């Protein structure tokens, strides 16, 4: 905790390069809107919920979750930043980019290392799409829609570690304890210790996956006429419920509150940002935080909770170039 607080204090005193970045205060459930000069393609909240990392083309932006103030801008080259994850102690942030995998020191913005990532035939070459830290913070785990392999990198120096072939190209990853969930357009696979497969399920995935804070459940956003969230027991894959009518189109925004009692969903096309109470899914959403805001269909973790579950960040669809911060009442 002391390390995280020290990092936040240092960031607040550092000069930040000029960006076309503006904070607009809101009202009601909408606390504020962060206006960016480039579309947000990835989001992540620090473990203490005080910092928000935003991935755009060529940069990682670090902002205060409470006030939206831009604290740091880290150059990652020309490629888009498609996945972000804070280390368990909050002192580092990993980025999966078109062009490579980066590890950045939060307090200074220094790039500690760059790894090549996954092979790709696309313009820009190697890179990664989804990224996560192992629970102990020793490894950075990555996936790519151009590669069927789940790959790992040493958090110390970026050297390549173990990998496992998931049989289909992957676009999302989530970690809880020894379990690693990966998702593709064909379904979900969960791996355990030593990257041994635990279970596999077919599903029409939009891409959003997230473990509950206690690791007991895995939530996954699915696509269709009405986007929905399926809940499965993380250790067995057994059906554990469903949130229906979450909005039209793909569900790519999905976040648990830290207490595990609530879920937030955000959808593309028609757009909705909804709050759900765990155990009352069949009663419908608890609240509509925004009736029309749309998330991008290919944004990684388009919704993240911060400030001990009292606030939520949602990245808008590409043309909007916005991240909105919502208040979540108790």
pLDDT tens sequence across 181-235: 999 888 899 999 999 999 998 877 766 899 999 999 999 987 765 668 889 999 9
Domain boundaries, position 233: 2-327
The pair of structure tokens assigned to 322 is 């916005």
Q: Which of 200, 232, 229 is nearest to 215 (CA)?
A: 232
Q: What is the pLDDT of residue 12?
A: 41
Q: Count the neighbouring beta carbons within 10 Å of the beta carbon of residue 298.
A: 18
Over pLDDT 70: what percentage of the chain? 89
Q: What is the pLDDT of residue 198?
A: 96
Evaluate if residue 3 carries a pLDDT over 60. Answer: no
Report residue 14's pLDDT band, with 50, 70 and 90 as the boundaries.
Answer: very low
Which CATH number does the domain housing residue 278 bear? 2.130.10.10
The label of the residue with tokens 């950075």 reads: 140
The label of the residue with tokens 């959003």 reads: 208
Evaluate if residue 45 carries a pLDDT over 50. Answer: yes
Of the CA atoms within 13 Å of residue 289, those in its CB half-sphere come to 29
Please measure the distance between the N-terminal and C-terminal CA atoms of the chain and give it in whole angstroms: 24
pLDDT tens sequence across 223-271: 765 668 889 999 999 999 888 766 656 788 899 999 999 999 988 877 8
Please tell me whether residue 307 adopts helix, strand or coil conformation. helix
Please tell me whether residue 125 adopts helix, strand or coil conformation. coil
DSSP 6: H
Looking at the 3D structure of the chain, how many domains does it have?
1
From residue 71, give the alpha-carbon distance in Å to each of 64, 199, 210, 310, 314: 7, 41, 27, 21, 19
Report residue 13's pLDDT band, with 50, 70 and 90 as the boundaries.
Answer: very low
Q: Is the dihedral of CA 249, 123, 181, 110 positive or negative?
A: negative
């Amino acid at each position: 905790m002391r390390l995280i607080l020290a990092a936040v204090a240092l960031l607040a005193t550092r000069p930040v390069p000029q960006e076309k970045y503006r904070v607009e205060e809101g009202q009601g459930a909408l606390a504020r809107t962060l206006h960016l000069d480039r579309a947000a393609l990835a989001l992540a909240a620090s473990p203490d919920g005080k910092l928000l990392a935003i991935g755009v083309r060529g940069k990682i932006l670090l902002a205060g979750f409470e006030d939206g103030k831009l604290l740091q801008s880290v150059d990652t080259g020309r490629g888009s930043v498609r996945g972000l994850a804070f280390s368990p102690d909050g002192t580092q942030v990993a980025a999966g980019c078109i062009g490579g995998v980066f590890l950045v020191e939060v307090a200074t913005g220094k790039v500690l290392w760059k790894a090549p990532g996954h092979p790709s035939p696309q313009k820009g070459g190697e890179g990664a799409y989804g990224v996560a830290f192992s629970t102990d913070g020793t490894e950075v785990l990555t996936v790519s829609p151009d590669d069927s392999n789940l790959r790992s990198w040493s958090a110390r120096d970026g050297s390549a570690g173990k990998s496992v072939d998931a049989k289909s190209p992957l676009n999302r990853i989530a970690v809880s304890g020894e379990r690693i969930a990966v998702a593709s357009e064909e379904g979900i696979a969960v791996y355990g210790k030593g990257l041994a497969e635990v279970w596999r399920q077919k599903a029409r995935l939009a891409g959003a996956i997230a473990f509950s804070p206690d690791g007991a459940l895995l939530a996954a956003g699915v696509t269709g006429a009405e986007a929905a969230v399926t809940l499965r027991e993380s250790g067995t894959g057994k059906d554990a419920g469903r949130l229906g009518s979450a909005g039209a189109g793909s569900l790519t925004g999905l976040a648990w509150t830290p207490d595990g009692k609530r879920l937030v969903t955000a959808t593309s096309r028609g757009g909705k940002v909804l709050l759900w109470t765990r155990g009352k899914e069949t009663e419908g959403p608890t609240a509509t935080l925004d009736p029309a805001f749309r998330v991008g269909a290919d944004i990684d973790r388009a919704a993240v909770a911060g400030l001990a579950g009292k606030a939520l960040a949602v990245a808008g669809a590409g043309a909007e170039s916005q991240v909105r911060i919502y208040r979540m009442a108790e």
